[in-house]
Structure 1
Amino acid sequence: LWVGNLSWNVDDAWLKSEFETYGEVISARVQVDRASGRSRGFAYVEFKEMSAAQAAIADSSKEIDGRAPRLDFAPVRTAPDQTKRARAFDDKVSEPSSILFVGNLSFDATEDAYVLFMEKFGEYGEVVNIRLPTDRETGQPKGFGYVEFGQQADAVKAFDALKGQELFGRPIRLDYSQPRDSSSGGSRGGRGGDRGGRGGGRGGDRGRG
């Protein structure tokens, strides 16, 4: 499981004890900043049985150090799985850049998607901007977004690690995107970038026009 919205007080042992009530925990790892060693506010918990992970997600009353954690499945995909999926979707990767295109977002991706993006992609480097575009006329989400890193190398690391993994129950499509004219519009503003509210749709429209 991916566990977000954690208090900085929570360490590995505390995290493990909180989730052992649902079943046997194989590992519990709070993600920390490499430079300072401080918690980054999210973690990964691996259970022996899938049923334990499902029980944890189903428990809406869960609190850790006075905060309600955000839970999501964090599937591990092997390289063959990613290759097979790339062929099925006819994925063609663009030239690497510091900006990642994120497609195939679910209708279940509410405004929490902004925080989830920041925490998941932020594991691989400094995220300086997130855009979740919406339709200019209807305000409805377009089903894709953009994550900009401070360094291209960090974007490459995130691409390699997260391509094909699931967010909100659907495998995301990743590609590199070149810097665009900020006057393109069609998004609602947010911290460090634009927030598209609910990121839904098929994710097929890359909105590069």
Structure 2
Amino acid sequence: TGPLEGCKLIRKENSSYGFVDYFDRRSAALAILTLNGRHLFGQAIKVNWAYASGQREDTSGHFNIFVGDLSPEVTDATLFACLSVYPSCSDARVMWDQKTGRSRGFGFVSFRNQQDAQSAINDLTGKWLGSRQIRCNWAAKGAGANDDKQNTDAKSVVELTSGTSEDGQETINDDAPENNPQYTTVYVGNLAPEVTQLDLHRHFHALGAGVIEEVRVQRDKGFGFVRYS
């Protein structure tokens, strides 16, 4: 998915975990989308964002947009991967219900460049992301601040957003996309410009993973979605 800067493996008696550093955030987002759930030596691996205290880029001075009508299967990584076609995209966060662990159906995306933010609003409003058409607009000043505060771990330890604690012990979230049977749409990124909906349908149909209900390709943005029944 992209060049690696480094990696680290932490071995534990009951379970091991590790960290992989990419040179750019988009490559990391694509790695999450393509490798999460893949089998490594016969065991499915969990891949998600890992943050150390103070590591996340300060976006307080960036230009923020609101993205609404998100389908339940859209995660931070999905949202960022889709919006990172704009070079100055710096962060993307889906707002989650703290009690249920479910998506609240909206999120916020930050850009270093105002024109990229405006282009995203103009280009993506009404476009399909997952199983829904999204709507984009400028975020109200301070919007998402309280939500973001709730989602930020103040401890000076590594936080794994996949539900894995710093000692590598996994906490299962039944509402996470990989565990919830209602999530049937998969994101496909880094598509070549010539890939059509028919090409994508043929490729995924050949996998024999199930009945495909719908395929959508955003050829100008290089990504698409495959929805299973």
More strand, by proportion: 2
TM-score, normalized by the shorter chain, greater than 0.5: no
Name the TM tier (shorter chain). 0.3 to 0.5
Structure 2 length normalisation: TM-score?
0.38
Structure 1 length normalisation: TM-score?
0.41
Higher RCO (CA 8 Å, separation ≥ 6 residues) = 1
More helix, by proportion: 1
